[in-house]
Amino acid sequence: MNMLGIKFVRQNLTNVKKAIENRGDHIDWEALINADDNRKNILLEIEALRHKRNVVSDQIAEMKKKGEAAAEAVAEMREVSGRIKTLDSTLSENDAIIQTILMQIPNMPHESVPIGQDENDNPVIRTVGALPDMPFEPKAHWDIGELLGILDFKRAARITGARFPLYLGQGALMERALINFMLDLHVNHHGYLEILPPFIVNRNSLTHTGQLPKFEADLFKLEGTDYYLIPTAEVPVTNIHHSEILQEDDLPLYYTAYTPCFRSEAGSHGKDTRGLIRQHQFNKVELVKFTKPENSYDELEQLLQNAEEVLQRLGLPYRVITLCTGDLGFSSAKTYDIEVWMPAQGVYREISSCSNFEDFQARRGNIRFRRNGRKGTEYVHTLNGSGLAVGRTFAAILENCQQGDGSVVVPEALRPYMRDMESISL
């Protein structure tokens, strides 16, 4: 269930170690190699003992047929069987060690991914759109939302706790409008099939896409079950085809889905505690692709353009960066981030990640395809991207489209979804 099978690791150990080192991850290579060597030695001994048991069993049968005493040989075979049983148990222990370590190894970065340590080493690919010219001090989106009566974080905190949003009136309308606008764009103009998946998934589904076992602390688990609230629609949508064999003519497959997303935000204490940027519950429209291996990087560029078009149609300024090796997600071979401009903070903030996982998720989820006229199967490549994070888009509209009188201009592309409303005002 891992892209980097033990055979691949052993045959490419130097390159694998270097690639994982560039990502800043630390793997117990010695324990992995020792367990694999032990496994090979145990298999050889088991094979020899089984051969011996077969030979001697035939001899015992022959001795009994001739009326000869076979007690000594029978006792020897009991010892051999006992030894095989012990070795089988030891083999299982070593297999478990190998599997546990392999499941901790992230995907290998594509050769085009820049080497770097963290987000400070992510190069900017392009910047799109002019920054808004505001002859006044821009307000933060949480202040704008509360002044307009369309966001209420205090009541949300009483209902649930910190980092949960409550949208009211025209705010609820705009959130819903954004979801419908994004889905319509991706379905009608980009060729995606709309999906409405379950919002709860099992452990296997999260393991297939790479959230488990490493990132369990980031998830909300339902007590007493093997179910989890989804952190992203990527999980249920990618698992639509787990353990299936697709046909070459089926590919590529494009899916888009709106879902709420649930994240514990473990390790983010003190970061973005106000507003809509880092919530425990948020809405997102996701894009997922299943492609042939030779096409996946062209498909990644197209996926990125599909996500960018949302911001272009809304008139929001943004930039595109490539994630360096040290900032790359666990399952990704290459990722572009789209960052939208937030005037109140004077910074660009992530609003979408578009990633090619190559066959990493497909191996874990056993998603394959068969080429026309050929025997055997190959693993598909999977890709996904946010198209977009809805709450962050909402926040970006409030900040970039705010006016000096406290009102917010509704982007033209969104007005048909908001009863032709041109602005939100007091």
The tens digit of pLDDT for each residue in 335-370 reads 999 999 999 999 999 999 999 999 999 999 999 999
Q: Could you write out the three-class secondary structure of 60-125? A: HHHHHHCCCCCHHHHHHHHHHHHHHHHHHHHHHHHHHHHHHHHCCCCCCCCCCCCCCCCHHHCCEE
Q: What percent of the chain has pLDDT above 70?
A: 98
Is 319 annotated as catalytic?
Answer: no
Is 392 annotated as catalytic?
Answer: yes
| Mean pLDDT, all residues of the chain | 95
Distance of alpha carbon 342 from alpha carbon 338, whole angstroms: 13
Q: Which of 352, 353, 355, 386 is catalytic?
A: 353
Q: What is the pLDDT of residues 166-195, one digit of tens each?
A: 999 999 999 999 999 999 999 999 999 999
Q: Which of 39, 349, 368, 392 is catalytic?
A: 392
Looking at residue 1, its pLDDT comes to 43
Q: What is the pLDDT of residues 82-99, one digit of tens each?
A: 999 999 999 999 999 999
- Give this prediction's pTM: 0.92
More confident residue, 280 or 57: 280
Q: Which of 23, 39, 263, 364 is catalytic?
A: 263
Q: What is the pLDDT of residues 256-303, one digit of tens each?
A: 999 999 999 866 666 777 899 999 999 999 999 999 999 999 999 999
Looking at residue 58, its pLDDT comes to 86
Q: Which of 319, 350, 371, 415 is catalytic?
A: 350
Q: What is the pLDDT of residues 188-226, one digit of tens each?
A: 999 999 999 999 999 999 999 999 999 999 999 999 999
Residue 223 sits at φ, ψ, to 5 deg, of -60, 135
Q: What percent of the chain has pLDDT above 90?
A: 90
Is 83 annotated as catalytic?
Answer: no
